[in-house]
Amino acid sequence: MDKLALFGGNKVKTTPFGRGKRMGAEEKKYVLEALENDTLFYVFGNQVRDMENKLRGMYGMKHCHGCSSGTAAVHIALGALQLPPGTEVITSSITDMGTLTGILYQCLVPRFADIDPDTYNMDPASVETLVNDKTGALVIIHHAGLPAELEGLMAVAKKHKISVVEDCAQAWYTHYRGQLCGTFGDISTFSLNHFKLITSGSGGMVATNRDELKENVKLFVDKCYFRDGRKRNPYFLAPNYQMTELQGAVAKAQLDKIAGIVEKRKRLGLRLIQGLKSIPGIIPQKVPEHSEHSFFLLVVRVDRKMINTSITEFCQALEAEGIPCEPNKITGGMPVYLYDIFQNRSAFPGSLFPFVSKDLETNISYPPGLCPQAEQAFQQTFNLNITEFYSEQDIDDMIDATAKVAGFYQC
C-alpha cells in the first residue's frame, strides 16, 4: 500500500485543480451601464429591475425582488408573512446562521428538525413532531444543493396550514421532480454571496407567486417606504435591505450563467459520487432518483465501522494528498442549535428574549441530543468542493485520493 502523504508519502494530486474567472465581459458591461446611468439606487436604475425580471422569467415566478444578502432575504420573507412575535418557525438543524438571523430579529422562536442521515436534508417525520398550535412557518433548506424531500415537507405544511419559506441559498437552479426548487413554497429566498454558485459579492433574492405578499416584500426591503409616489408613513418595522445597482448589474450577468454552471457541476458531481461509491467505507450523499443535485458541495460519510480514524484525521490525510476537504464546512462542525447563541439563549444582550418571555409565553431550550442524526453526521462526514472549472481528471484524483486514505485506515 502507498504511504500516505500525511506520513511522508507521495501526493495523489500533482496537477493544479482547474480554475477560471467568474466575472467576465457581461458583468463589466452591465456595471459600466450602471455607472453611466449615474445612479446606483435601485429605484432609479435599471439593473436590479432587469435582474428581477430575468429571475421571474427563469423561475416562472410572479414577483421577484433583489436585496442585500441571503440572510436579508430570509428575514424579508418572514417579515412579509407578518408572523406575530412568539410564533414558532421550524427549520433544519443543519443550515447557515443566515437562515436563523431573521427568525430571531422577528422575535420568532426557531425549532430544529432532525435530518435524514442519507441526504442530510430535513426529515419530514421530525418536522411533523415539532408542529403545534404555535407553529407559523416552515423554512426548508436544500442542503449542499440537494433538494429537500419537498413532497413530504409540503404535505406536513399543507396538513397543518403552515406557511413555507424555501431557503434556496445553496440550491440555485436545482430541480426536484423536474420543477425548480424555490417554486414550491409560499415564498423563496436566494443568496448571491461569494461562495454560492453565482455571486454579486453579497446579495439576495426573494420570490413569490402570492400577490398578497408582494407589497410586504417590497416594503420590508426598504424601511416600509412606498417608492411609488404614495405618502411616506411606515406602518410596520422594516430594515433597509436594498440591493444596489452594482450588485444588480453583476447578478444579472451571473443569472445567464447559472444553467451552464449547474450542468457542469452535475456532470462532475455525479462522476465523483459514482467513483466514491465503489470505495469500501465511503458513503456519498444519497441523491434520490427524483432529485437533481446542483453540487454546491458534496457531503461524504465515512463509515467508522470500516474506517478506523477520526473524521478530522481523515480530512487531514486527504488534504495532504492535495484534495481540499473540510469536516463540516457550513456550520462549523455542529448542528446550529449547539451554537452559543442557542445554548446561552443570548440573541439580545442581558435578556433571554425571545426564547424565554412572559409576554410571548415562550420557554424553550435546545439541549445537546436534540437532533441525534444531525449530531452523529458531524462525527462522520466531510464536504468536498466541486467547481464548474474542475476537469474530469480533478474528479478522478479526488476519488483516487479518497480511496488511498480509506484503504490505509481500513479496519
Ligand X SMILES: Cc1ncc(COP(=O)(O)O)c(C=O)c1O
| Residues lying near ligand X in the complex (CB under 6 A) | 69-71, 74, 95-96, 98-99, 141, 167, 169-170, 191, 193, 202, 204
* Least CB distance to ligand X at residue 41 (A): 21
40, 245 contact by CB (below 8 A)? yes
Q: Output 96 or 388, the one with its CB closest to ligand X.
A: 96
* Least CB distance to ligand X at residue 296 (A): 8
377, 117 contact by CB (below 8 A)? yes
Which residue in the block uniquely carries the three cell numbers 431557503? 167
Q: Output 193 or 209, the one with its CB closest to ligand X.
A: 193
Q: Is there a cis peptide before residue 354, judged by omega within 30 degrees of 0?
A: yes
**Strand partners for 90:** 111, 138
* Least CB distance to ligand X at residue 147 (A): 13
**DSSP H or E segment with residue 203:** none
Q: Output 4 or 100, the one with its CB closest to ligand X.
A: 100
* Least CB distance to ligand X at residue 182 (A): 12
Nearest to 157, CA basis, from 193, 177, 128: 128
Residue 357, phi then psi, degrees to nearest 5: -160, 130
Q: Output 201 or 260, the one with its CB closest to ligand X.
A: 201
Q: Output 251 or 302, the one with its CB closest to ligand X.
A: 251
* Least CB distance to ligand X at residue 11 (A): 30
Nearest to 65, CA basis, from 178, 236, 213, 172: 213
Q: Output 95 or 183, the one with its CB closest to ligand X.
A: 95
Separation between Cα atoms, residue 316 and residue 337, nearest integer Å: 27
Nearest to 362, CA basis, from 352, 370, 371: 352
* Least CB distance to ligand X at residue 170 (A): 5
245, 42 contact by CB (below 8 A)? yes
